[in-house]
């Protein structure tokens, strides 16, 4: 099994123990027991993960883009709901999670992780976005998270749509990340396997190691909504 797969498997095993913006104490005993069942392979993977730590590569950088949020980021791990509004965002539900690590494989604790994205129609909640696609009143599309003691983060969102950036250019679906560690800052984007616009996207292809940015939609663990998907995305900084 490849290094990247082992790293993502370790993240899948560990990140369920705590949400990025909450401590394990916020979960009920029943939830913790359910997580323990899923994460039972921890001891098996730990030794293999030690090998994966020796081969990490920095996550490729990407452009910040023109739609960095102008309003303050919400400190909220659930982007599918807007405070004070009864509805829910349109689109396929994604549970995105991973770890922020340095090149040695050490967790970057208390890293700030900003995320922002387009909605399920390919429109950003940003005054400069002139895309005629509709806005979603139940989706503002941004949040700020803080990694826990193991470098883990987690948030719930919807899968964004591709969108036009000119008469002949379509950007593939992606989610923006800006990560602040103790020493490093990284701006990057997370993409989705199988998107028909990936191969033609000059920003993604400029990354070189595109496999470090392209994620798979995985079946959800039992405690997640059955129609949702799990997405694993580890972010590697130089020093942390």
Task: Give the whole-angstrom CA distance, residue 61 versus residue 72.
Answer: 23
Report the 10 Å Cβ neighbour count for 184.
17
> Does residue 176 have an active-site annotation?
yes
> For the purposes of burial, counting CB atoms within 10 Å of the CB of 17, is it exposed (0-12), middle (13-18) or buried (19 or more)?
middle
Set 99, 126, 152, 171: catalytic member: 171
- Respond yes or no: is residue 29 known to be catalytic: no
Q: Of 124, 152, 154, 191, which is the active-site residue?
A: 124
- Interatomic CA distance for residues 178 and 186, integer angstroms: 6
Residue of 126, 152, 154, 176 marked active site: 176
Is 124 designated active site?
Answer: yes
| CA terminus-to-terminus distance, the chain | 26
CA distances from 161 to 186, 197, 201 (A): 23, 11, 14
* Residue 153 appears among annotated catalytic residues: no
Which of 152, 163, 202, 238 is flagged as catalytic? 163
Q: How far apart are CA 179 and CA 185, in angstroms?
A: 6
Dihedral Cα 220, 172, 67, 91, nearest 10 deg: -40
189 DSSP β-pair partners: 176
Given the residues 123, 126, 174, 191, select the one marked as catalytic.
174
- Mark whether 126 is an active-site residue: no
Distance (Å, whole) CA 206 – CA 238: 19
Kind of pairing, strands 235-236 and 229-232?
unpaired
Active site residue ranges:
124, 163, 171, 174, 176
């Amino acid at each position: 099994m490849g290094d990247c797969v082992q790293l993502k498997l370790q993240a899948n095993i560990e990140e369920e123990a705590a949400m990025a913006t909450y401590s394990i104490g916020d979960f009920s005993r029943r939830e913790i027991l359910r997580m323990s069942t899923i994460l039972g392979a921890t001891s098996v993977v730990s030794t293999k993960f030690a090998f994966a730590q020796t081969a990490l590569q920095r996550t490729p950088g990407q452009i910040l883009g023109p739609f960095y949020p102008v309003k303050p980021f919400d400190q909220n791990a659930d982007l599918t709901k807007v405070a004070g509004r009864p509805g829910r965002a349109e689109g396929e539900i994604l549970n995105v999670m991973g770890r922020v690590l340095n090149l040695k494989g050490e967790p970057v604790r208390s890293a700030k992780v900003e995320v922002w994205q387009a909605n399920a129609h390919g429109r950003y909640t940003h005054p400069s976005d002139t895309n005629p696609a509709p806005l979603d009143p139940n989706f503002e599309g941004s949040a700020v998270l803080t990694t826990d003691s193991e470098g883990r983060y987690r948030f719930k969102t919807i899968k964004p749509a591709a969108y036009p950036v000119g008469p002949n250019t379509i950007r593939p679906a992606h989610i923006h990340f800006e990560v602040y560690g103790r020493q490093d800052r990284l701006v990057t984007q997370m993409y989705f396997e199988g998107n028909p616009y990936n191969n033609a996207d000059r920003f993604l292809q400029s990354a070189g190691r595109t496999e470090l940015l392209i994620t798979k939609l995985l079946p959800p663990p039992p405690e997640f909504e059955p129609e949702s998907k799990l997405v694993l995305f580890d972010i590697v900084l130089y020093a942390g």
